[in-house]
Amino acid sequence: MSLEKTKQMVKNTDIFFDATESLRAHGIYPTSQRLTIANRLLIKHQHLTAEQIYESIRNDQIKVSQATVYNTLGLFVRKGLLNEIFVDSSKTFYDTNIKPHQHFYNVDTGQLTDIKTPLDTTFMRGDLPPDTLIESVDVVVRIKKYPI
Amino acid sequence: MSLEKTKQMVKNTDIFFDATESLRAHGIYPTSQRLTIANRLLIKHQHLTAEQIYESIRNDQIKVSQATVYNTLGLFVRKGLLNEIFVDSSKTFYDTNIKPHQHFYNVDTGQLTDIKTPLDTTFMRGDLPPDTLIESVDVVVRIKKYPI
DNA sequence: ATTGGAATTAGAATAATTCTAATATTAACC
DNA sequence: GGTTAATATTAGAATTATTCTAATTCCAAT
């Protein structure tokens, strides 16, 4: 498929998102598969798993392999377009909000949501082992339905 | 194997740890396999992965299946003997310190260590969705070697 | 002792993720 | 412009972590 043909703008909540430009701005070559993924993921702030993205693509009868979804999400993370959030051994979420913030993970529903109040992530600065620096501060507050 | 034969005390750092009693105290029937795992894991504060525990057992020529290691660790977590820590999609650590505390995860070495300064985990109380309660507050600070 | 039922174990199945061989794309040269 | 070489991308196959379930073990009651 020619690249020019895949170039498009996606309308969402009154703003236009140009996936091609967004990928190029992050040094990512905008292939058809990458645009397909970007156009469903990067259009707004959301938390999706690789599986959810893959299913969404399949539902629209578009053929992209699971491997490519994983490879592409990994690439987006390395290039700074996405944050990875590990909530348990079988669930990795991809968060399009790359600014530092924290999350609630509802163990009953499997939903990941943002925590509004920001955490002061400097609390452990004095404990940092020598010759190391902080890559990220990952906070997941596991919540569940109040038992009646 | 008879249970009485497997009952034993393990010496470590000048204190004795009775795995049989510890399991019984948590409502866990102390089988031979469970004692094998408990005696390598619960003797001191440490962070090990299922794989590390399994390998440690195999190195001593003892036959326990991987499935049993996983099932047992899951049981210990449910019974409150262990904490599970998810650092990435392929690494689950089991922490024998069940008191709330936070961790450094060194992405270069794969080592998990405790953070001494405790975090005030009440920062998001006001953001808690209705009819939910907190199960745990999981904090992993990812660190790496300072680039020269 | 013998049987019935529950608990435990581990082989087999599954699901998430990674690896690598194949394919597609770009660049360089004629 | 066509051909070849180098590089980047994709996806089938392999791998690995984990879970499931059938088989086994253990205990209690008769």
Residue B9, min C-alpha distance to chain A (Å): 33
Distance between the alpha carbon (CA) of A3 and the C1' atom of C26, Å: 13
- What's the whole-number mean pLDDT along residues B23-36? 96
B127 in contact with A at a CB cutoff of 8 Å? yes
Does A71 have pLDDT greater than 80? yes
Contacts of A107 (CB under 8 A, 6+ apart): A142, A143, A144, B135
At residue A12, the pLDDT reads: 52
Write out the two tokens for A96: 């399009």
Higher-confidence residue of A2 and B70: namely B70
A59 in contact with B at a CB cutoff of 8 Å? no
At residue A1, the pLDDT reads: 37
Does B1 have pLDDT greater than 60? no
At residue A148, the pLDDT reads: 78
Write out the two tokens for B65: 């299946």
Distance between the alpha carbon (CA) of A112 and the C1' atom of C18, Å: 26
At residue B5, the pLDDT reads: 37
Question: pLDDT digits over B89-128, tens only?
Answer: 898 999 999 999 999 999 999 999 999 999 999 999 999 9
Contacts of A46 (CB under 8 A, 6+ apart): A95, A96
Which residue does chain A place closest to B102, by CA atoms? A124
pLDDT confidence tier of residue A17, bands split at 50, 70 and 90: confident
DSSP B26: T
Report the length, in residues, of chain A. Answer: 148
Number of A–B residue contacts, CB under 8 Å:
113
Higher-confidence residue of A13 and A147: namely A147
Distance between the alpha carbon (CA) of B64 and the C1' atom of D21, Å: 18
pLDDT confidence tier of residue B16, bands split at 50, 70 and 90: confident
pLDDT confidence tier of residue A5, bands split at 50, 70 and 90: very low
Question: pLDDT digits over B44-83, tens only?
Answer: 999 999 999 999 999 999 999 999 999 999 999 999 999 9
Distance CA A90, CA A70 (A): 14
Higher-confidence residue of A82 and B3: namely A82
At residue B15, the pLDDT reads: 63
At residue B147, the pLDDT reads: 83
At residue A13, the pLDDT reads: 52
Which nucleotides of strand D are protein-proximal, with an atom < 7 A from a CB? 8-13, 16-21, 26-27
DSSP A2: -
At residue A11, the pLDDT reads: 54
At residue A99, the pLDDT reads: 95
Q: What is the pTM of this model?
A: 0.88
Distance CA A3, CA A26 (A): 17
Are A117 and B127 inside 8 Å of each other by CB?
Answer: yes
Instruction: Specify whether the backbone of A5 is left (phi greater than 0), alpha (psi in -120 to 50) or beta.
Output: alpha
- pLDDT averaged over chain B? 90
